Amino acid sequence: MSLATETIASLRSRLLSKEITATDIVTDLVKTIEARNPEIGAYLSYDVQAALDEAAKADISQPLGGIPLAIKDNINVTGQPCTCGSKMLAENYTAPYDASVISQLRAAGAVPFGRMNMDEFAMGSSTENSALGVTRNPWDLGRIPGGSSGGSAASVGSDLAIAALGSDTGGSIRQPAALCGCVGMKPTYGRVSRYGLVAFASSLDQIGPLTKTVEDAALLLNHLCGKDAADSTSLDIPVPDFTANMRDGVKGLRIGLPKEYFVEGTHPAVSAAVQAAIKQYEALGAEIIELSLPHTDCGVATYYVLAPAEASSNLARFDGVRYGHRALNTSDVLDHYMTSRAEGFGPEVKRRILLGTYVLSSGYYDAYYLKAQRARTFIRQDFETAFEKVDVILSPTCPSPAHKMGEMKNDPLTMYLEDVFTIAANLAGLPALSLPCGHDVSTGKPLPIGMQLVGKSLDESTLLKAAWAYEQSTDWHKIRAK
Amino acid sequence: MSTPTLDIQRIATLSRLKLSEEEGAQYAGQLSKILDYMHVLEKHDLSGVEPSAHAIPMFDVWREDVSRPGFTCAEALANAPRKSADQFMIGKVVE
């Protein structure tokens, strides 16, 4: 059996017993990638020699020693490309520094290996907005892998990677994890430094793990968190060992079901899988409590005002001067900016820059941006009230399983509405996780279904405990894409 | 609130994005539809609540004013599309 099929936990124990070497893992991964990546398209690029060199030097005594990790192509790794899935950075950008998470992971012995496809600048939920290649869902190659961390999720879901890093602004880790059958986690805002992550919406972005198991998510999270002087929004609070309470069970755990998340419009297979998961939690001794998040209907609108507004400002840095695409033969400085950006950015990025510029422009600021900021306060307060009564909140991760490629390409609003269950956690800054809880078999090929757990601020430990208990009592995580 | 008519070329100039007429028409249509949807925010009385810029309270962060290592000139220029004499090269901006 290829080592590519294993988890961080199992590889670590085999490395420590000297049964295998870090080089063996990279070698097996490369074989799998060469065989399957051409059809799945999860990797945009990978440097085999660099990974072999790093693996040979990896300090196995470190907690993640010798573990290769696939990196979403918006996180800087020194000397590697960082395209953000965009023509803007595809031609001539080489990362001049390590993102802080990469420095931390290297210190823990991990080996960054491979650049994963994504929706351009992380804007999208299907990876169809990548300007650089198509990524397919490993469970059904005619379907999307989700997004924006689609390459990361497709690689972990098909054993093309041991584990991966993604970024989550409105569900971009959790939704593709759900659609590709893996575990995806967005930590509390501020837990993880954003330094070196190419900014999309700075008040919402967080880096997080995509893994085959809950335990692997906890193992990675242990080395992602912490205060970083280079990111003033990173929190200076102690980082626990996230595996410490993971096996404590859910007896007496209070799980909330928001009535606004269990409504018509959700695919029947998704509803059935999540209802079965709720029963399973009851059987495990958890207490199920119905509750209300009354401002849920504001979520999508709030997000699609605030995130594009922040993006329009963040993406102003792409000016064709310091890095990125530069148009030739422009007439003056305004033409230089406007043409370079028009040539470098794809349609969805342009749409969001235009939308963000509009809602921030004079005369419309109060009507859209300020209103959305006020709605954000209500959404946060909804969760604060809910968490007085419950420990975690359970819902589907997304309303339906993976759709067919191209199905929503010309209908941006419908695509945005698919983010309804995931965006509130970003707006409220809460930790949230998606884990496999079933399959939709109605199309002939099994399509993974994910359940989302949202936790209290900084309480990733309870989230992981709840996820682990369910995972260990079911077999969904053991079924891999063929 | 009703969605006002979008002057898409004005927004495009503010956004520093050159749009053809055809692209402008397409984006104007899509943006109008998206902005119409934003009226869902009208359903709730939002007047009495403080706006949130962040999910968690954020304060100014200070550090000691001491120099730290940064990029060398060569590193800072490594990704520049055009450079000359250790500087970024841009088009003429003065008459």
Each residue's pLDDT expressed in tens, for chain A with a length of 482 residues: 899 999 999 999 999 999 999 999 999 999 999 999 999 999 999 999 999 999 999 999 999 999 999 999 999 999 999 999 999 999 989 999 999 999 999 999 999 999 999 999 999 999 999 999 999 999 999 999 999 999 999 999 999 999 999 999 999 999 999 999 999 999 999 999 999 999 999 999 999 999 999 999 999 999 999 999 999 999 999 999 999 999 999 999 999 999 999 988 899 999 999 999 999 999 999 999 999 999 999 999 999 999 999 999 999 999 999 999 999 999 999 999 999 999 999 999 999 999 999 999 999 999 999 999 999 999 999 999 999 999 999 999 999 999 999 988 778 888 888 899 999 999 999 999 999 999 999 999 999 999 999 999 999 999 999 999 999 999 999 998 87
Please indicate whether, in this complex, the C-beta atoms of B50 and A374 are within 8 angstroms of each other.
yes
Assigned domain for B14 exists: yes
Beta bridge partners of A386: none
Please give the residue of chain A at the shortest CA–CA distance from B93: A333
Point out the residue among B44, B54, B82 whose CB comes nearest to the CB of A203.
B54
> Could you tell me the pLDDT band of residue B4, with boundaries at 50, 70 and 90?
low
Cβ contact (<8 Å) for A354 and B17?
Answer: yes
**Is A434 considered catalytic here?**
no
Token pair 């490395």 in the structure block, residue: A15
The domain in which residue B36 lies consists of 1-44
A322: chain B residues, CB-CB within 8 Å: 76, 79-80, 88
Q: Report the domain count for chain B.
A: 1
The shortest CB-CB distance from B81 to any of A320, A332, A345 is to A320
Q: Say if B36 falls within a structural domain.
A: yes
CATH topology of domain A3-250+461-478: Amidase signature (AS) enzymes (3.90.1300)
Q: B17, A341: Cβ pair inside 8 Å?
A: yes
Distance from B55 to chain A by nearest Cα, in Å?
5
Nearest to A154 by CA among A171, A131, A179: A179
- Residue B23: inside a domain, yes or no? yes
**Which secondary structure element, helix H or strand E, spans residue B88, and what is its range?**
strand B87-88
Q: Which of B6, B7, B18, B31 to mutate to test the interface with A (most CBs of A within 10 A)?
A: B18
> What CATH number is associated with residue B26?
1.10.20
In a domain, B86, yes or no: no
Chain B environment of A189 (Cβ under 8 Å): 54-56
Three-class secondary structure assignment of chain A:
CCHHHCCHHHHHHHHHCCCCCHHHHHHHHHHHHHHHHHHHCCEEECCHHHHHHHHHHCCCCCCCCCCEEEEECCECCCCCECCCCCHHHHCCCECCCCCHHHHHHHHCCCEEEEEECCCHHHCCCCCCCCCCCCCCECCECCECCCCCCHHHHHHHHCCCCCCEEEEECCCCCHHHHHHHCCEEEECCCCCECCCCECCCCCCCCEEEEEECCHHHHHHHHCCCECCCCCCCCCCCCCCCCCCCCCCCCCCCCEEEEEHHHCCCCCCHHHHHHHHHHHHHHHHCCCEEEEECCCCHHHHHHHHHHHHHHHHHHHHHHCCCCCCCCCCCCCCCHHHHHHHHHHHHCCHHHHHHHHHHHHHHCCCCHHHHHHHHHHHHHHHHHHHHHHCCCCCEEEEECCCCCCCECCCCCCCHHHHHHCCCCCHHHHHHCCCEEEEEEEEECCCCCCEEEEEEEEECCCCHHHHHHHHHHHHHCCCHHHCCCC
- How far from chain centre, in Å, is Cα A384? 24
Cβ neighbours, 10 Å, residue A243: 18
pLDDT tens per residue across span A17-37: 999 999 999 999 999 999 999
A409 is annotated as an active-site residue? no
CB contact under 8 A, B49 and A378: yes
Q: Domain residue spans in chain A? A: 3-250+461-478
Of residues B59 and A353, which shows the higher confidence score? A353
| Phi–psi pair at A79, nearest 5 degrees | 85, -5
Q: Tell whether B64 is covered by a domain.
A: no
Residue in B17, B27, B43 nearest the CB of A297 = B43
Judging contacts by C-beta atoms under 8 Å, the chain B residues touching residue A300 are 37, 40
For residue B86, the 8-state DSSP code is T
**A10 a catalytic residue:** no
Say which residue the tokens 């148009």 belong to. Answer: A327
B93 falls within a domain: no
Question: Which of B22, B49, B56 to mutate against chain A (most A CBs within 10 Å)?
Answer: B56
| Length of chain A, in residues | 482
In angstroms, the separation between the Cα of residue B84 and the nearest Cα of chain A is 12
Q: Do B37 and A335 touch (CB under 8 A)?
A: no
For residue B3, pLDDT beyond 60 = no
Contacts of residue A455 in chain B, CB cutoff 8 Å?
A: none
Q: Do B37 and A378 touch (CB under 8 A)?
A: no
Among candidate residues A125, A126, A130, A148, the one labeled active-site is A148
Q: Could you give the ipTM of this predicted complex?
A: 0.94
Which residue in A262, A318, A326, A248 sits closest to A291, CA to CA? A262
Could you tell me which of A396, A414, A375 has the C-alpha nearest to residue A451? A396
A2 upstream amide cis, omega within 30 of 0: no
